[in-house]
Chain A
Amino acid sequence: MINLTIDNQQIEAEEGKTLLAAATLAGIDIPTLCYHPAVPSAGACRICVVEITGGGQPGLVPACAYPVQEGLEIQTESERVVASRRMTLALMLARSPGATIIQEMAQEYGAEPVPMDKGDDDCIMCGLCVRVCQDVIGQSAVCFEGRGHERKITTPYDKQSEVCLGCGACAFICPTGAIDPADYCPHPLETIPNDFNCGLDTRTPIHIPFPQAVPNKPLIDRENCIHFITGGCEACKQICPADAIDFDMTDEYVTEKVGAIVVATGYELFNPDVYAEYGYGRYPDVVTSIEFERMVSASGPTTGELVRPSTGKPPKTVVFLQCIGSRREQGGLPYCSKICCMYTAKHAILYKHKVHDGQAFVFYMDVRSGGKNYEQFVRRVIKEQMATYLRGRVAKIFPSDGKLIVRGADTLSGTQVEIAAEMVVLAPAMVPAAGIRNLAQTLRIGYDEHGFLLEAHPKLRPVETNTAGVFLAGACHSPKDIPDSVAQASAAASKVLGLISHQTLTREPTIGIVDEETCNACFECEGACAYGAIGPKELKDRKGEVTAVVAYINEGLCQGCGACAVTCRSKSIEVQGYRDDQLFAAINATGR
């Protein structure tokens, strides 16, 4: 370890580290421009200069490229340092008056404009792009050309580079945003929509799927990763300080033996495309409620700033349309999606919080606010005039003069209304998650015509399914809001705990029994069983050799319905307690 003093603070640093690394570790901030932790330092821009005041040759040195040395005394904000940074920024500003970061830093350091020759190049010649391409990507698709003030960044021979992978690292790393890879990149640069933000923004191939993901770790999207496409790049591997990048890692199927399953597959939104009159997908300012939710979220594409997709400006008028697909027997879904009334009221409040002078309208059929304090919540929105509630449906939305004209009926006043909206938010119906039917068939549980999973009994067993050990939670069962989902999930969890907290499983004794002597292993019964309780079983002799295969009934799964017993041609299955001889005996006894 090496001991040195930075800003009068005693610091210990590893040998070979730079002054910048040591200072950063000690919480001392040094401005940088041509530095990036992933790229070898060049010490080119000189904004990170610090002053050696003792323990070495006194003078200004670049913190990003100067190694720590025993006994060095460093000042990071001395008069000399600040004067040098000011002049560096003044010179950069003269060269690149349009570069925002330079303007900001110049203001921060009070770099006064100096009467100098002005340029108009956003590139400050820091060379990060050249270094990242050469040293991290390993390609040298961008390079310097010329010398001195005539030096410029270009591709070799000013031609579209053949070795460019299209990774975009140069544009990503450029501190002034001076690089547009499309100018020289031979590969079309695909933008990857960010699914979690409903495609409202883009993401990189390496991404964390959503905030608070568990585990909260980035993953590589193989389809879009330059390494998996071209075999090159591997920039992430080079820069990862924890050496955590593993290109060989693949998705895997995990087989687990479990005693119970809770199905909680959630829901999706009905696609409002089908209603052409609303223009979703055609007019950028017609959005769904989930898109609106992301727009106003602090972790969303605009970090919480609500703007019109078409103009990037805050919408002054927003119209919320409820029941898009819900409660619509013709061309829609007959059921009520249950949550839309409440979240629309919430969205109206959020909208007023974001756009104080904005005006919100809500078209509704009925406000269904059953739930604790729900009605009061909606009333507050209406009373405090956060939104104007209009009972009726919207017939048509069409653009006019940069706005969207929402034409609908106000059935309470019996008039037709037209609102010039800057944004329209649709509240589509809730539908079960895609693929739920396949899942239900695999689990051998029932589902209704819309795909919602069936409970064992609507009143007495609302969490269980007909298959023992399979439970339901949330919107896979029926449209539900968060409190209801949580309640059902808690109930399902309790049921599971009740099931697995005993050493033995207590069951109704009424189950099928196989007579292994007579079973001829036709397995007609297996197909007949609705609960997946029947499978093959091997019979072995003393030496462990298989002598026969017969049907086996899982006692935990069997519901005692008797379907197997009637199917069995060899009469090898009988239901316990309802054997033929027992039934005959019972009949005989009653007949006496």
Chain B
Amino acid sequence: MAVATQLRTPEDLANLREQAATRRESKRMAIAICCGTGCRAQGSMDLVEEFRSRLEAEGLSDVEVRATGCHGFCERGPLVVIYPKEIFYCGVQDTDVADIVDKSIKGDELVESLLFRDPVSKNRFHLEHEVPFYAKQQRIVFRNNGKIDPVVISDYIAVDGYVALAKALTQMTPEAVIDEVEKSGLRGRGGGGFPTGRKWRICHGQPGDQKYIICNGDEGDPGAFMDRSIMEGDPHSVLEGMTIGAYAIGASRAYMYVRAEYPLAVANLEIALEQSRALGLLGEDIFGSGFSFDVEIVRGAGAFVCGEETGLISSIQGDIGSPRQRPPYPAESGLWDKPTNINNVETWANIPVIIDRGADWFASVGTEKSKGTKVFSLVGKVQNTGLVEVPMGTTLREIVYDIGGGILKKRKFKAVQTGGPSGGCIPEAMLDLPVDFEKLRDVGAMMGSGGLIVMDERTCMVDVAKYFLAFLVDESCGKCTPCREGLFQMHAILSRITEGRGREGDIELLQRLAAYVGESSLCQLGGTAPNPVLSTIRYFRDEYEAHIDHKRCPAGVCTSLVNFGIDSEACKGCGLCLKDCPTEAISGEKKAPHRIDETVCVQCGVCYEACPFDAITVE
């Protein structure tokens, strides 16, 4: 498949695109199988093999099997989409392959059992774009995920890949590229939301021959995996964005910093790099423009703080991944003290679209100050979890209810946590908040890299704050006092509150410590670390007070403060709790109300989770 000839001109690229597109179109059908990490874990690679051997056995050479990147709807994987009709099958197992080939490939029927059935409306959906999870999304960053095989460069070129690079290098000056990006209103997707065009301009304006580009792929937020999916599913879009950026800034070398926990992303990126070099899309004198550029992959060693740009630079340089005081900013003095421009994976993936389709088109999407789309990883207590790309300004309610399908088990929504561990928890009253950088910041949360964790009524907000604090205590680099000692003490206070040893004044002390850590810390890890505590105190102060004053946990999570009982009216005597109880504290006859022996109960909460009738009560 590898194409050995180098692309010297935009015409060469157009020719190759033509060939690739023709080859794609020559196939009658294409079976796109999601081979993101999530679906692979559920056996999608076996599916690929199974489909291939099945098609071969049947002699169906006019059907292509495509192992694509993540489709986003991870909840229902493995996902299979059959083009051109866009028939959408979810939860496909290798035993289903024969059925699919028989009915949908050879025939014109659907495999009803594999169609998506909406848990709320109970409707079945045939086509991908009809599925509620996808219907409200607008995919710019994820434009190719699910459509192309990430390890086949001609696939990327067939869908207009590298057209933007050819345009930038042969028709635009570096300044014009920066102007275009600035006009698009694109802001950094890593969390800070700094205007990308302005960042480039600052770095472009720095003196010196040697400048560096860095792609920050150290996606460390628990539950966030949008960058991983882009790197795995569409690595060329990131490389193309970086190459355009390097041309604009005047850099000849780039580093791609990827978490070592993302082996598939590293593998796919390495393949992409080799292919790009083979085609002359990386290397010397790209498209005959005189511009030379290459990228090196650096694997992170697992420190969350290395996502902070100065920490990341230290890490690339081989030092301890500890942030340093800014200024000087990396744009002035970064990697090896040279001007350095760092952008996040998602930001880079936006660049080719902006150059290709124009700043005006991009700016037409989104809100006044936040343009384009944002990919969120929607997780937690919602029906449909997965990666969601929506235009800026979409409300949280739309994301949680329309796309996410609402709360699991019809429980009550309590809060949605945005922005990763340093984000904030937003209560139900603010569900109609249009999501953009400013709006989230105003309510005490943040965009972060785009984590969205939905919490239901059975989530204890003090426990949530403690959970995130524990993560941040572990991940603080330990360099500055506020972050190292302040977070440690805040976590200690939260621990004693959840264990029923909270004291009067603890809330105020937490607030004081939070304010101190926020304003005195060296980097933004510490600067934003108090957000989970502050936002939960702000919106759920009553829960804190219940823990401290009344020594009870309203959500029934903090085991030291909970006594479980069984509502004899609601209990149907199914015996599930009895079976699960690890201490045999539950007794009762079948179909008769059960009871809990408080002297034996260790408050583990297994019965609380297990009961299908919500008959377990919390005191």
Contact = CB atoms under 8 A, between A and B. Distances in A.
B484 interface: yes
A91 B486 contact: yes
Contact of B474 (A80, A88, A147): A147
A149 B325 contact: no
B509 A84 contact: no
B539 to A, nearest CB: 25
A60 B328 contact: no
Nearest to A117: B492
B519 A44 contact: no
Contacts of A532: none
Given A42-B479, A94-B485, A150-B478, A84 B520 contact: yes
A152 B488 CA distance: 15
Interface of B: 303, 305, 320, 324-325, 327-328, 473-489, 492-493, 503, 509, 512-513, 516, 519-522
Question: Which of A44, A84, A95, A150 has most chain B Cβ within 10 Å?
Answer: A44
Given A66-B327, A84-B516, A92-B485, 20 more contacts: A42-B324, A44-B481, A44-B522, A46-B480, A46-B521, A60-B519, A60-B520, A80-B519, A87-B516, A88-B481, A91-B482, A91-B486, A115-B503, A116-B492, A117-B492, A148-B475, A149-B484, A149-B485, A149-B488, A150-B478
A44 B476 contact: no
A47 B513 CA distance: 15
Given A87-B516, A147-B475, A43 B485 contact: no
Nearest to A85: B520
A91 B489 contact: yes
Nearest to B486: A91
A94 B489 contact: yes
Interface string A128-150: 00000000000000001011111
Given A91-B485, A92-B485, A147-B475, A84 B519 contact: yes
B479 A44 contact: yes
A206 interface: no
A114 B516 contact: no
20 contacts: A42-B479, A46-B480, A87-B513, A91-B481, A94-B485, A116-B489, A116-B493, A117-B489, A125-B484, A127-B479, A144-B320, A144-B478, A147-B303, A147-B476, A147-B477, A148-B473, A148-B476, A148-B487, A148-B488, A149-B485
A49 interface: yes
B488 A117 contact: yes
A65 interface: yes
A83 interface: yes
Secondary structure type dominating chain B contacts: helix
Contacts of B519: 59-60, 80, 84
Contacts of A502: none
A151 B488 CA distance: 12
Given A67-B328, A116-B492, A117-B492, A148 B522 contact: no
B476 A149 contact: yes
Contacts of A124: 481
Contacts of A67: 327-328
Contacts of A44: 479-481, 522
B484 A88 contact: no
A150 B484 CA distance: 9
Contacts of B320: 144
A45 interface: yes
A166 interface: no
A49 B485 contact: no
Given A115-B509, A117-B488, A149-B476, A65 B516 contact: no
A272 interface: no
Contacts of B480: 43-46
Contacts of B305: 147
A354 B488 CA distance: 49
A62 interface: yes
Contacts of B482: 46, 87-88, 91
B509 A114 contact: yes
B102 to A, nearest CB: 55
B192 to A, nearest CB: 13
A51 to B, nearest CB: 9
A176 to B, nearest CB: 13
A92 B325 contact: no
Question: Which of A41, A67, A124, A148 has most chain B Cβ within 10 Å?
Answer: A148
Given A91-B481, A92-B481, A95-B485, A148 B325 contact: no
B194 to A, nearest CB: 13
Contacts of A91: 481-482, 485-486, 489
A94 B327 CA distance: 31
A83 B489 CA distance: 17
B481 A45 contact: yes
Nearest to A127: B479
